[in-house]
Amino acid sequence: MSELSRLFHVARADFSYFFRTKWLMAVLISLSVSDMLVTALVYRGLMNFDYFRFLVPGIVVAGLFSAATDTGRRIWLALREGVVQYYMTLPIRTSGLVVAYILSGGLGGIVYSSFLLVIALAVVPHQGIVNALLIIPFMFVLSTGIAGLSAFLASISRRGEIYWVYAQGLQVSMVTISTVFYPAQTIEGFLPGPVATIARYNPLSLAAGALRDSGFGGNPLDLSVLGTLLAASLPLAVSGALAYWVILRTIRLRGKP
**Closest Cα partner for 117 from 214, 186, 12, 45?**
214
Site for other proteins in 232-251 (CB under 8 A): 251
Region from 5-13, 65-73, 115-123, 229-237 binding other proteins, contact rule CB under 8 A: 5-13
> Cα–Cα distance between 7 and 3 in angstroms, integer?
6
14 SS3 class? helix
Nearer to other proteins, 60 or 139 (CB): 60
Nearer to other proteins, 112 or 181 (CB): 181
39 touches other proteins (CB under 8 A): yes
H helical segments located in the chain: 3-20, 22-34, 40-44, 51-81, 83-88, 94-123, 129-155, 160-171, 184-190, 193-201, 203-210, 223-254
Nearer to other proteins, 78 or 207 (CB): 78
> Cα–Cα distance between 112 and 28 in angstroms, integer?
9
Q: How many residues bind other proteins (CB under 8 A)?
A: 60
In the complex, minimum distance from the CB of residue 3 to other proteins, in angstroms, rounded to a whole number: 8
CA-based R_g, the chain, Å: 19
In the complex, minimum distance from the CB of residue 81 to other proteins, in angstroms, rounded to a whole number: 7
Site for other proteins in 146-165 (CB under 8 A): 161, 165
Q: Which amino acid does the sequence have at 15?
A: F
Region from 8-16, 145-153, 210-218, 237-245 binding other proteins, contact rule CB under 8 A: 8-16
Longest dimension (CA), the chain: 60
Q: How far from 9 is each of 52, 73, 77, CA to CA, in Å?
A: 40, 20, 19
Chain residues in the site for other proteins (CB under 8 A): 1, 3, 6, 9-10, 13, 16-17, 20-23, 25-27, 29-31, 34-35, 38-39, 41-43, 45-48, 51, 77, 81-83, 85-86, 88-93, 161, 165, 168, 172, 176-177, 181-182, 186-187, 189-191, 251-255
